Amino acid sequence: MRPKIAAGNWKMNGTAAALTELHSLATGLPDNPPQIVICPPSTLLFRATDATHGSPIQIGAQDCHAEEAGAYTGDISATMVADSGASHVILGHSERRDAHRETDADVQAKAIAAWGAGLTAIICIGESEAERDAGQTLDIIGAQLDGSLPDAVEAGNTVIAYEPIWAIGTGKVPSIAQIKEVHDFIRARLIDRFGAEIGNALPLLYGGSVKAANAVEIFAVENVDGALVGGASLKAEDFAPIVTALAQS
């Protein structure tokens, strides 16, 4: 049985006032909630873990550096993320691969650092619109998986998020058949590389314009174990129905 996970990526949104959203979310949870991981900006990590103490909501960072400490102005290490009380870290989001030129090798090194600090890595992969149009989606996804995942992947230390770049923040969502095709492909690739036990145990999230209106349909897809949600995770009133849809899936 794989865990169901509703993850929220706040990106560069939210000051202290946004912590009230965590309280609202925590008070409106369904029975048997899935795992919930909210990833606020790093300035809010300590306060967010405080604010969710005793609730089922877990906190994650949006990135970490591969080194434990040193002269890396502006970066935070996995140890610092763990020190905040966070349990997860998003790695290799397409916005970081794009704007910060992060490579698969960088993502892999960060995952090893994350594990070393006791964090679960949420590793993101996804094709661009041009790559999809050129029929390269599965090749790109396969190469990103091979390059971004360290060999020491274990069931409890990694979550994979498939996020087609063209679906992020655009309101465009792949068809259910397209989501199923990629998730089935990822599952088979994971089993091939890590064996059936680990390959079947790794949760696969879909991300890209998930909202309450499409969540039920997406969560019904085999091999979709949850979602990584951007815009619709900022407000509890938008995220709560997605959490409920996952709980009931």
Active site residues: 93, 163
Cβ of residue 9: shortest distance to ligand PGA, in angstroms? 4
Q: How far apart are CA 244 and CA 249, in angstroms?
A: 9
Closest to 6 measured CA to CA, from 159, 127, 184: 159
Q: How far apart are CA 67 and CA 196, in angstroms?
A: 32
Q: How far apart are CA 21 and CA 66, in angstroms?
A: 31
Q: How far apart are CA 82 and CA 103, in angstroms?
A: 23
Give yes or no for residue 169 binding ligand PGA (CB under 6 A). Answer: yes
Strand partners, 88: 60, 120
Residues 6+ apart with CB under 8 A from 208: 126, 163, 164, 165, 166, 167, 168, 170, 172, 173, 174
Choices 23-31, 46-54, 139-147, 206-214; region in contact with ligand PGA by CB under 6 A: 206-214
Does 226 show up as a binding residue in the annotation?
Answer: no
Choices 12-20, 99-107, 147-155, 203-211; region in contact with ligand PGA by CB under 6 A: 203-211
Nearer to ligand PGA, 44 or 167 (CB): 167
Cβ of residue 31: shortest distance to ligand PGA, in angstroms? 26
Cβ of residue 240: shortest distance to ligand PGA, in angstroms? 15
Nearer to ligand PGA, 53 or 172 (CB): 172
- Residue positions in the annotated binding site? 9-11, 169, 209, 230-231
Residues making contact with ligand PGA (CB under 6 A) = 9, 163, 168-169, 207-210, 228-232
